[in-house]
Amino acid sequence: MDVLHYVLPNSLAEAYQLLHEDLNNHVIGGGVWMKNTLKSINTLIELKHLIGEKIEVTHEVIKIDANCPLRQLEIHPVIKDLYDGIISQSIEKIMGVSIRNVATIGGTVVGKYAFSDLLAALLAVDVTLVFFKQGRMELSKYLESHEKNRDILISIEIPIKKGTGYFHKVSTTHLDFAILNLAITQIDHQFRIVIGARPGIASCANQAMELINHAKEIDDTLINEVAECCVKELSFGSNFRGSEEYRMTLAKVYVARGLWEVIHHAS
């Protein structure tokens, strides 16, 4: 990788300005994926002295600094328990421990990687992002926007509530990227269903969620209807990891299995 300048700015304001001076200036997170995607960089902006890697837990929220390595998140005792541990589970399935010691939550979120397992889990618990310029933003909104976001992510906040969850990744081998991933939660009696790597980026199945959240009674028939609904409302596609048709089948099967598990776990 060719890097012309490596800069440690004095403030986030300075970093922000630097980032906007040149499209080929980049903030570095863990740097793992950057190496695989960028051949040459003008200015590499280092923020490790400005943005930490702490995880702070209050009664209502877990606040995670953007530079927190995935591995720290994965093994954090509160996160391991929260919503049946789906955030930890989603991280466990990303490459090996050594990569997770380097890759950061900030890099994962900002990268908006369509294959990301963690994004699916985070979306299912609806986390809030805190940016330097734009301030607070829901992850769902961030992922939906197609604009090139060149803001600096400072931290991520995960709400602490009572709830259950399910995460599943389908892949050829453990180290491979997902053919499909999905996360389902039931928090405050509300279901959220998220499907990612379709191969498009993780999205909520809003109509399906509506259907189940308004149902009077949840039985096998409804679960199947909800699963069908997910497949209808979300777009699926083909790549060398799996065909559109196969992804749709997987989505149907695992939404049903996931819902069943979440419901039975809650009761």
Partner 1 sequence: MLVNLIVNGQPRSIEVAKGEFLLDTLRHLDYLSVRRGCDSSSCGVCTVLVNGKPTPSCSLLTVRLDQQEITTVEGIAKEAEKLATHFGHEGADQCGYCNPSMALTVYAMKKELKKPTLEQIKAYLVGNLCRCTGYQAQHIAILHYLEDQS
Partner 2 sequence: MKVVNQLTPSIDGKGLMMGRHGYTDDFADKNALIIKVMRSPHPYARIVSIDDAEAKKLPGVELILSYKDFERRPFTRAGQGYPEPSPHDKFVFDEYVRYIGDEVLCVAAVDEATANKALKYIKVEYEILTPILDFETAKQHSVIIHPEPEIHEMFPIGFKPLENVAASYHMHIGDVEKSISDSEVVIKESFYTQAQAHSMMEPHTVNSRFDYQNRLVLYSSTQTPFHVRRIISQALQFPLSRIRVIKPRVGGGFGGKQAIHGEIICSAVSIRTGKAAKLTYTRKEVYESSYTRHPMRLDITLAAMKDGTLKAIDCYVLSDTGAYGEHALTVFMVAGSKVLPLYNKVDSVRFYGDVVYTNHTPAGAFRGYGAIQGNYALESAVDILCQKLGMDPILFRQKNMIKEGETSPIFSIMGEGTEGTAMNMDTCKLDYCVKRGMELIHWNQKYPRTQTKKDIVEGLGMAIAMQGSGIPYIDMGAATIKLNDDGFYNLLVGATEIGQGSDTILAQIAAEALMTSVDKVIVYSSDSDLTPFDVGAYASSTTFVSGNAVLKAAETMKHQLIIESAKALGSEFKDIEFDGEIFNDSKHQKQISLKDLSNRLYYNHDQKQLMVTESYVGHKSPPPFMAGFADVSVDLLTGEVKVNHYVSVVDCGVTINPKLAQGQVEGAIIQGMGMTLYEDVIYTKTGKLITNDFMSYRIPTRMEIPSMTTEFAESYEESGPFGAKSVGEIGIDTPPAAISNAIYNACGVRITSLPITPEKILKGLKKLKEHSI
Residue ranges in contact with partner 2 by CB under 8 A: 170, 172-177, 240, 242-243, 246, 249-250, 253-254
Interaction partner, residue 1 (partner 2, partner 1, none; CB < 5-8 Å by kind): partner 1
Q: Is 54 in the site for partner 1 (CB under 8 A)?
A: no
Residue 206 in tokens: 């809003």
Q: Is 97 in the site for partner 1 (CB under 8 A)?
A: yes
Q: Is 240 in the site for partner 1 (CB under 8 A)?
A: no
Of the pair 150, 252, the CB lying nearest partner 2 is at 252
Reading across the β-sheet that carries 25-27, which strands appear in turn?
2-7, 40-45, 25-27
Give CA separation, 260 vs 193, 214, 226, in Å: 13, 17, 11
Interaction partner, residue 114 (partner 2, partner 1, none; CB < 5-8 Å by kind): none
Of the pair 129, 226, the CB lying nearest partner 2 is at 226
CB of 75 to partner 1, least distance (A): 8
Of the pair 156, 241, the CB lying nearest partner 2 is at 241
In contact, 216 and 142? CB cutoff 8 Å: no
CB of 33 to partner 1, least distance (A): 8
CB of 69 to partner 1, least distance (A): 8
- Any idea what the Cα angle at residue 79 is, between residues 155 and 165, rounded to 5°? 110
CB of 242 to partner 2, least distance (A): 7
Q: Is 35 in the site for partner 1 (CB under 8 A)?
A: yes
Beta bridge partners of 167: 183
Residue 263 in tokens: 């419901």
CB of 32 to partner 1, least distance (A): 5
Residue 41 in tokens: 């960089």
In contact, 98 and 74? CB cutoff 8 Å: no
Interaction partner, residue 101 (partner 2, partner 1, none; CB < 5-8 Å by kind): partner 1
Alpha helices, DSSP H, located in the chain: 12-21, 32-37, 70-75, 77-81, 86-92, 97-100, 105-111, 117-124, 139-144, 206-213, 220-233, 244-266
Q: Is 42 in the site for partner 1 (CB under 8 A)?
A: no
Of the pair 33, 130, the CB lying nearest partner 2 is at 33
In contact, 151 and 173? CB cutoff 8 Å: no
The footprint of partner 1 (CB under 8 A) covers: 1-6, 28, 30-32, 35-36, 40-41, 44, 46, 48, 71, 92, 95-99, 101-102, 174-175
